[in-house]
Structure 1
């Protein structure tokens, strides 16, 4: 299983990184080639599609990959993914109906949801590849899809200025790669046949339910202000908020990349019952995050608005304070991720569902109120309050629970 270790790491990192940054590239293309109103529709649609993605992936591939005894067949995982992807598209269609989108907005939202549905469906085949030590093939697939998508998106939108046609062509590319690469690659390793096993399907849906909810709410709280802006402000303002929110995503990703190597050490310290060292490492990671966050804030203060205005071709001079507030919120969000890793290490997952649920309710309540009173600036304030609320909840639960669990493991 070590033969492909280097290739697995390299191609998976490349594929995941490109896929993560696709939204940034596509947003730049849409904003530069189309009107700000169209850009606003796109950024909202992409956020909705990212939320719907978790109906498609449900609990993701972690359970699938860690099922070393193959208690559930590959066929069961594929059948479940077909069900969840169908549910995802039905919910996406229903959401567009409920929101009373016009045909143009409806088409963009739904086609992007289809794109994310294809991503969710491909992921189950990536799981088969991953489990059989061919993760590099999944990374290669994501790399090809990401690169072709960006290039085609740019070319088609440049010559047609038709966003619906552009997204449709990207959807077709993902379908072709899925049919001619993803499925055949997985089928060579598994040779699965689709069969309906109600017992195993029930088990998969039940065991992954709270993971699904945590993943779903984690995406919702980050984008709650965007959803609240929908229908309350002009699409052009939705675009502006999407632009100033983008650096927050990049800051969170950068900090996560930096702290990721320490997570395995957390598990080791917990297993060895080294409580003092465990808490010291958490404190160290928090301080590192704060330090990196301050660097990001200084950079945003000096260069943020000029660079964003240049890249997107939009005058953002009036939103310098908003950018700084949002990046501050992203720093709190990044610290929350550290406490999340700590609670996951000590095997507390249900409590994280409670945290995300409470935070989502906070966002659902305050975002519309603040946007009603302060417009797009209200979305900025809402983002900050949501992030700091989540951070405070994580600290409270971490302090309350980690001590109890260490005592339990020590037999106290």
Structure 2
């Protein structure tokens, strides 16, 4: 009896079967939409309860931390999700994310100390950096769920994260009226979510223990570094106009611009949800050399993204003014013209996002860096001249100009270079 009890092994969690693409799209869409709306709600509460200057302080913290943490992420989630050959284990991806996130957090804190920011702005940047660090942990855990095409688990988690994060941020802001304290409340709640999601990933049969290896870390870095640089450059393309607005206008103007631009972020999150659902499927189709179905799925995604963007721009032109007045206030509604330009840029961004998803699925990580660099140079050049002359409208035009360059180059690379070249290769069974 005692021997039998001693040798009885713990039941092994059986990985769930992959779900259909349509069900994954629905799950990803619901989770991302709820989470995006909650993030937007935080910005709306901040705008209604405080001044554009406070919104600008929060926006500046996001603009500083986003490129750093995006670079440190190395887009490992996308590398993990498209790893159809199972080249690396989840533990190896997790260990790499831990190391790079710690490095990013220390870099932001060092930057704050070096620059010598005003105390409240420095505290806001530090709190947002903590929030971003915990988000980075969640992102790689979501990758484990996404790789197994279990996006309903990601969606449920995003809904809880969004609602709880909004409550933590808004509640703390209501009690203290200080944006830096509200950001701390958001960071603490996100840390609690890291623990919950770790447990949930373990329940679907994933070994969540990080596996540190210098050799593996170097291999992952070599593989993903071009993608990490590319995504940080892409983030700079969006944030560079904000730097010019902060320098030549005012923090209050930056706050108004950031609030308007966040509507573009919401559409980006919706597109990201569709990309998340399609990414594993595209990776498998490409790995199996089923190029015809690969093109069909990609074409549908591109058309859908562009169509939704056009609808968003039209809605902004017709309904933007009353909606902005309701959500943010009259100061923001007065700049509905800027919102229309930003939503037109979103129509282009949606197309770019899906073409980038296709490049990731083909594991062509290096091609994205020169494309994003070209978009950054274009956007920064336009912002240099347009922001001092036209204010925040110049910032919107700069974002749109960068996106036009990006989508043109992606179309050329994906449809005219990569796919035709691979289709001509002799077909053989994937190893």
For the 8 Å contact 1:56–1:121, the answer to whether it is kept is no
Match of 1:335 in 2: 351
CA-CA distance at 1:370 after TM superposition: 2.1
CA-CA distance at 1:377 after TM superposition: 2.2
Once the two structures are overlaid, the 10-residue window that deviates more, 220-229 or 146-155, is 220-229
1:86 is aligned to 2:95: no
1:305 is aligned to 2:338: no
For the 8 Å contact 2:246–2:254, the answer to whether it is kept is yes
1:150-189 map, 5 Å: 150-179=166-195, 181-186=196-201, 189=205
1:353 is aligned to 2:369: yes
CA-CA distance at 1:297 after TM superposition: 2.7
Once the two structures are overlaid, the 10-residue window that deviates more, 100-109 or 19-28, is 19-28
Match of 1:381 in 2: 397
Cα-to-partner distance string for 1:213-253 (whole Å, 9 max, x where unaligned):
23223332233312332333211101111122223233445
Question: Judging changes above 3 Å, is the alpha-carbon distance between structure 1 residues 306 and 36 closer, same or farther for their aligned structure 2 residues?
Answer: same
Match of 2:227 in 1: 211
Cα-to-partner distance string for 1:326-385 (whole Å, 9 max, x where unaligned):
222221222323443455566644222211122122223332332223222221221121
Match of 1:19 in 2: 35
Match of 1:238 in 2: 254
1:188-203 map, 5 Å: 189=205, 196-203=212-219
1:44 is aligned to 2:72: no
1:28 is aligned to 2:44: yes
1:231-380 map, 5 Å: 231-254=247-270, 271-272=289-290, 274=292, 278=295, 282=299, 289-341=305-357, 343-344=359-360, 348-380=364-396
For the 8 Å contact 1:340–1:352, the answer to whether it is kept is yes
CA-CA distance at 1:86 after TM superposition: 0.9
For the 8 Å contact 1:252–1:330, the answer to whether it is kept is yes
For the 8 Å contact 2:382–2:397, the answer to whether it is kept is no
Question: Judging changes above 3 Å, is the alpha-carbon distance between structure 1 residues 373 and 399 closer, same or farther for their aligned structure 2 residues?
Answer: same
CA-CA distance at 1:304 after TM superposition: 0.6
Question: Judging changes above 3 Å, is the alpha-carbon distance between structure 1 residues 227 and 128 closer, same or farther for their aligned structure 2 residues?
Answer: same
1:148 is aligned to 2:191: no
Cα-to-partner distance string for 1:29-73 (whole Å, 9 max, x where unaligned):
110111111011112322433333324432322444565776545
Cα-to-partner distance string for 1:368-411 (whole Å, 9 max, x where unaligned):
33222322222122112112222232344346415751563269
CA distance in 2 between counterparts of 1:384 and 1:97 reads 34
For the 8 Å contact 1:289–1:334, the answer to whether it is kept is yes
Once the two structures are overlaid, the 10-residue window that deviates more, 366-375 or 33-42, is 366-375
Question: Judging changes above 3 Å, is the alpha-carbon distance between structure 1 residues 406 and 130 closer, same or farther for their aligned structure 2 residues?
Answer: closer
CA distance in 2 between counterparts of 1:57 and 1:24 reads 23
| TM-score, normalised with respect to structure 2 | 0.80
3-state SS of 2:330 partner = coil
**What is the aligned counterpart of 2:136 among 120, 123, 132?**
120
For the 8 Å contact 2:82–2:283, the answer to whether it is kept is no
For the 8 Å contact 2:306–2:350, the answer to whether it is kept is no
Question: Judging changes above 3 Å, is the alpha-carbon distance between structure 1 residues 167 and 407 closer, same or farther for their aligned structure 2 residues?
Answer: closer
Question: Judging changes above 3 Å, is the alpha-carbon distance between structure 1 residues 50 and 16 closer, same or farther for their aligned structure 2 residues?
Answer: farther
3-state SS of 2:138 partner = helix
3-state SS of 2:249 partner = coil
3-state SS of 2:424 partner = helix
3-state SS of 1:337 partner = helix
CA distance in 1 between counterparts of 2:72 and 2:35 reads 17
Question: Judging changes above 3 Å, is the alpha-carbon distance between structure 1 residues 341 and 203 closer, same or farther for their aligned structure 2 residues?
Answer: closer
Cα-to-partner distance string for 1:183-232 (whole Å, 9 max, x where unaligned):
34445645655554211111122221122223223332233312332333
**What is the aligned counterpart of 1:107 among 123, 140, 164?**
123
Question: Judging changes above 3 Å, is the alpha-carbon distance between structure 1 residues 265 and 184 closer, same or farther for their aligned structure 2 residues?
Answer: closer
For the 8 Å contact 2:31–2:156, the answer to whether it is kept is yes
Question: Judging changes above 3 Å, is the alpha-carbon distance between structure 1 residues 260 and 63 closer, same or farther for their aligned structure 2 residues?
Answer: closer
3-state SS of 1:231 partner = helix
CA RMSD of aligned residues (A): 3.7
CA distance in 1 between counterparts of 2:190 and 2:297 reads 45
CA distance in 1 between counterparts of 2:197 and 2:273 reads 27
